[in-house]
Amino acid sequence: MLAAGAALSLLALSACGGASSGSASDAFTVGMVVSKTGPLSTYSADWENGFRAGLDYLTQGKMEIDGKPIKLIEGDDTGDATVGSNVATNLLSDGAQVLVGPTSSPVALAVANLAIQNNVLFVAGDAGTTDLVGMDDRVFAPFGAARSGNEIDAKIVGDVDGKTVATIDPDYEFGQTQAAGVKAVLEPLGATVKSFLEPTDTADFTTVAQKVAKPHPDFVTTSWLAPGQLQLYRALAAQGVFKESHLYAALMKSDSFKTIAESLGNFVNDTRFSIAYFPGATGNEQDLALQKYGKAHKHTVEYDDSMGWTAAEIVYHALTNGDASDGESLAKTVKDWSFTGPQGEVQIRGKDNQIILPRFSVKLTKQNGQWGPKLVKAVPASELVPPVVKAIGQ
Could you tell me whether strands 246-250 and 219-222 are parallel, antiparallel, or unpaired per DSSP bridges? parallel
Its pTM stands at 0.90
Closest to 233 measured CA to CA, from 129, 364, 376:
364
For residue 382, give the nearest of 349, 333, 342 by alpha carbon.
349
Amino acid at site 221: T
117-123-125-130 Cα dihedral, nearest 10 degrees: 70
**CATH 3.40.50.2300 domain range(s) in the chain:** 4-145+283-356, 148-278+359-383
4-145+283-356 maps to CATH 3.40.50.9100: no
In the chain, the amino acid numbered 310 is T
Backbone angles phi, psi at 68, to 5 degrees: -100, 125
Which is the CATH superfamily of the domain at 148-278+359-383?
Response regulator (3.40.50.2300)
**193: Cα within 13 Å, side-chain hemisphere:** 23
Q: What is the torsion angle, in degrees rounded to the nearest 10, for the CA atoms of residue 148, residue 149, residue 154 and residue 155? A: 110
For residues 232 and 222, is the Cβ–Cβ distance under 8 A? yes
Q: Is 300 left (phi over 0), alpha (psi -120 to 50) or beta?
A: beta
pLDDT by residue for the chain (394 residues), tens digit each?
333 343 444 444 433 343 333 344 689 999 999 999 999 999 999 999 999 999 999 999 999 999 999 999 999 999 999 999 999 999 999 999 999 999 999 999 999 999 999 999 999 998 878 789 999 999 998 765 444 467 788 888 888 999 999 999 999 877 888 898 899 899 999 999 999 999 999 999 999 999 999 999 999 999 988 678 899 999 999 999 999 999 999 898 999 999 999 999 999 999 999 999 999 999 999 999 999 999 999 999 999 999 999 999 999 999 999 999 999 999 999 999 999 999 999 999 999 999 999 999 999 999 899 999 999 999 999 999 888 888 998 7
**What's the rounded Cα separation, in Å, for the pair 64 and 71?**
9
